C-alpha cells in the first residue's frame, strides 16, 4: 500500500511539469504571477527556483513589501511573503510569543535537532541563557582574540602567501569558509581541524555545510510531499542532505563523547563542558533524552552560526570592495590612522578593544550584511490567528516567510540608493557608528532571538578583513561570474576567484 501511495504521488510532479510549460506560454507579462486553478502560483516558483531570492524581491517590490503567494490546493502551500519592517517588528518582537519555531520549522530543519535554532519555550531559554552566560565571562574575549590571531598567522597568511608565490588565482570564499570553520571548532569543540592549511585538505564535515544550506532552501520551495518523497527515494538534494548529516555526526560525536570528556579547559572556558554540566536541568525538554545527541545538536547549531554567516559576509565584502576601490582606500587609511604605532607605522595585531576604532570598516561590513544578509529568509507560523500591521490576516499555522535579502533592496526602507555600496550610511556626523533597529536591519535576526554572537562576529570579521586589506591587493578574476546561491545562506554560487598581489608595506 505504501508503495502504491508513493506511485500516486509521482503522478503529481509529472502533471505539474506538463501544466507548467503550458501555463508559462500563456503567462501575461506582469510582475504578479497568475493564480491558476489547482496549481496556484507554483509553476512560476519552479520557473524561478534558480534565482529564488531575486524573484521574491521582485514580487515584494511590486507589491509594496508584502505578497500573498497561493500554492496548489492539495499542498497547503499558501504563504505570506513580507519584507515590511513593521511586520518584521510585529512577528519578532511585539507578538513574539505567538510565533514560535513550531513543528513545521523543526521538520524542515530536523538536521539541527534540539539546538538553539530549532528550540522553543523552555529549551530555547536554556540555550540562550547558558550561551549568554558563557560569552559574558571575562576570559571569553581574550580567548577569542588569541584564537583569531593564531589562525590568521598560522593559517590565513601562509595560505594566501602560498597562492601568491605560485602566481595562481584562488577561491577567497573557500578560504574564508575554512578559516571560520576552524575557528568555531576550536571555540566550541576545543579542536582545530586545520582545514585552512597550505595543502587545503578536504574535510567532509567542512564541505557538508554548503550542500546542507542548499537542501534546506529546497525544502522551502517544494511541497512537503515532494521533498519527503525524494528523502524516501534518497535522491536529489535530500541525498546530499543525508550525506551531510552523516558527515556532521562522524565529526562531532567523537568530540562530545561522554566517556572521553569534552576536552581540556582553556583559560577556564569550555563551552561544551558547561552545557554538559547543565544538561540535567533540561533533559526533559530534549526530544531524545540523550546527552550525547544534545551536545551534538548544540555544537552543530553553533558551528552553523560561526562558519557560514561570518565567511559569507567577508566574501561579499571583498567583492564589493573590488568594485568600489575608493572605499577600500578609506579602510586602509583608517587602519593607518587608528592602529599603527605613530613612530614606525608597522602592522601589528590589534586587540578586541582597538577593533572598535575601525568605524569605516564596520560600516563596510554592515553594507555587506545589508545587501547580502547571510541568512536570506526565515519562516514563522502563528499558533493563534493574527493581523499584521499591513492589515494581512494570518490564520493559525499559516506560513509567513520574512525575506531579509529583499529588505536590503527596498527603496521604501533604504532610499533610492538602496542598491549602492555606501559604508557612509553607517557613519554619524561625528564619525561614530550609526545604529539601525534590528527590524530594519535583521542581519542578526531581531527581537528576543537576536544573535548572541553579533559582537563576536564583528570582532572576527574586522581582524580578518583588516589583515587582508592591509597586506594584499585583491583583483577579481576577469569574467568570473559572481551570483547569489540558491540556498538559505547567501553564499556565492561559483565562489570568489581572485588574484593576489603583495602591497609594499612593513
**CATH number of the domain that 323 lies in?**
1.10.630.10
- CB half-sphere exposure, 162, CA atoms < 13 A: 13
Domain assignment present for residue 72? The answer is no
CA of residue 13 relative to chain centroid, distance: 30
Number of structural domains found in the chain: 1
Domain assignment present for residue 22? The answer is no
Domain range for 308 is: 78-502
- DSSP letter at 67 equals E
| 211 compared with 14, residue with greater pLDDT | 211
Question: What's the full length of the chain, in residues?
Answer: 506
pLDDT digits (tens, 9 = 90+) for 341-389: 555 667 889 999 999 999 999 999 999 999 999 999 998 999 999 999 9
pLDDT at 263: 43
Domain assignment present for residue 73? The answer is no
* C-alpha cell at position 10: 509521482
DSSP bridge pairs for 171:
497
pLDDT at 44: 85
- C-alpha 462/C-alpha 217 separation (Å) is 29
Domain assignment present for residue 66? The answer is no
pLDDT digits (tens, 9 = 90+) for 274-315: 787 777 767 666 666 688 898 999 999 999 999 988 999 999
Lowest mean pLDDT among 25-34, 85-94, 124-133, 465-474: 25-34
Domain assignment present for residue 100? The answer is yes
Evaluate if residue 229 carries a pLDDT over 90: yes
Q: What mean pLDDT is predicted for residues 161-175?
A: 96
Evaluate if residue 56 carries a pLDDT over 80: yes
Q: Beta-carbon neighbour count of residue 136 at 10 Å? A: 10
* C-alpha cell at position 459: 570582532
What confidence category does residue 13 fall into, taking pLDDT thresholds of 50, 70 and 90? low
Domain assignment present for residue 208? The answer is yes
**What mean pLDDT, rounded, does the chain reach?**
88
Domain assignment present for residue 196? The answer is yes
pLDDT at 122: 87
- State which H helix or E strand residue 353 sits in: helix 352-355
- C-alpha 302/C-alpha 287 separation (Å) is 19
- CB half-sphere exposure, 454, CA atoms < 13 A: 15
Domain assignment present for residue 180? The answer is yes
Determine contact, residues 421/371, Cβ cutoff 8 Å: yes
What confidence category does residue 418 fall into, taking pLDDT thresholds of 50, 70 and 90? very high
Amino acid at each position: 500500500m505504501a508503495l502504491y501511495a508513493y506511485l500516486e504521488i509521482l503522478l503529481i510532479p509529472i502533471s505539474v511539469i506538463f501544466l507548467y510549460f503550458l501555463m508559462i506560454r500563456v503567462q501575461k507579462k506582469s510582475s504578479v504571477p497568475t493564480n491558476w486553478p489547482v496549481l496556484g502560483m507554483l509553476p512560476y516558483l519552479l520557473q524561478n527556483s534558480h534565482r529564488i531570492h531575486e524573484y521574491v524581491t521582485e514580487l515584494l517590490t511590486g507589491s509594496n513589501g508584502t505578497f500573498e503567494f497561493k500554492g496548489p490546493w492539495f499542498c497547503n502551500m499558501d504563504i505570506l511573503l513580507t519584507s515590511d519592517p513593521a511586520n518584521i517588528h510585529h512577528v519578532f518582537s511585539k507578538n513574539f510569543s505567538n510565533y514560535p519555531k513550531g513543528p513545521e520549522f523543526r521538520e524542515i530543519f530536523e538536521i539541527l535537532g534540539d539546538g538553539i535554532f530549532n528550540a522553543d519555550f523552555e529549551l530555547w531559554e536554556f540555550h540562550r541563557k547558558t550561551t549568554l552566560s558563557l560569552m559574558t565571562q571575562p576570559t571569553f574575549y581574550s580567548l577569542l582574540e588569541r584564537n583569531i590571531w593564531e589562525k590568521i598567522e598560522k593559517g590565513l597568511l601562509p595560505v594566501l602567501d602560498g597562492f601568491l608565490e605560485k602566481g595562481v588565482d584562488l577561491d577567497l570564499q573557500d578560504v574564508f569558509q575554512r578559516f571560520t570553520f576552524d575557528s568555531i571548532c576550536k571555540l566550541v569543540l576545543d579542536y582545530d581541524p586545520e582545514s585552512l592549511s597550505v595543502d587545503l585538505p578536504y574535510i567532509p564535515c567542512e564541505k557538508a555545510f554548503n550542500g546542507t544550506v542548499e537542501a534546506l532552501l529546497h525544502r522551502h520551495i517544494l511541497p512537503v510531499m515532494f521533498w519527503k518523497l525524494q528523502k524516501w527515494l534518497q535522491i536529489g538534494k535530500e541525498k546530499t542532505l543525508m550525506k551531510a548529516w552523516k558527515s556532521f555526526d562522524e565529526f562531532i560525536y567523537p568530540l562530545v563523547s561522554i566517556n572521553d570528556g569534552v576536552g581540556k579547559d582553556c583559560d577556564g572556558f569550555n563551552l561544551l563542558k558547561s552545557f554538559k554540566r547543565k544538561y540535567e536541568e533540561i533533559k526533559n525538554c530534549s526530544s531524545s533524552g540523550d546527552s550525547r545527541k544534545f551536545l551534538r545538536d548544540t555544537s552543530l547549531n553553533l558551528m552553523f552560526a560561526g562558519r557560514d554567516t561570518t565567511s559569507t559576509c567577508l566574501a561579499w565584502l571583498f567583492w564589493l570592495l573590488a568594485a568600489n576601490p575608493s572605499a577600500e582606500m578609506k579602510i586602509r587609511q583608517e587602519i593607518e590612522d587608528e592602529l599603527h604605532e605613530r613612530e614606525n607605522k608597522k602592522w601589528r595585531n590589534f586587540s578586541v578593544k582597538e577593533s572598535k576604532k575601525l568605524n569605516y570598516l564596520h560600516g563596510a561590513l554592515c553594507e555587506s550584511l545589508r545587501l547580502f544578509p547571510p541568512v536570506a529568509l526565515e519562516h514563522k507560523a502563528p499558533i493563534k490567528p493574527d493581523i499584521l500591521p499591513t492589515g494581512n490576516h494570518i490564520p493559525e499555522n499559516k506560513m509567513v516567510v520574512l525575506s531579509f535579502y529583499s529588505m536590503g533592496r527596498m527603496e521604501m526602507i533604504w532610499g533610492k540608493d538602496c542598491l549602492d555600496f555606501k559604508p557612509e550610511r553607517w557613519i554619524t556626523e561625528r564619525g561614530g557608528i550609526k545604529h539601525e533597529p534590528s527590524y530594519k536591519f535583521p542581519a542578526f535576526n531581531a527581537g528576543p532571538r537576536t544573535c548572541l554572537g553579533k559582537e563576536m562576529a564583528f570582532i572576527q570579521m574586522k581582524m580578518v578583513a583588516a589583515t587582508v586589506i592591509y597586506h594584499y591587493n585583491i583583483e577579481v578574476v576577469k569574467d568570473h561570474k559572481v551570483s547569489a546561491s540558491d540556498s538559505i545562506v547567501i553564499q556565492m554560487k561559483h565562489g570568489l576567484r581572485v588574484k593576489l598581489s603583495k602591497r609594499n608595506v612593513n
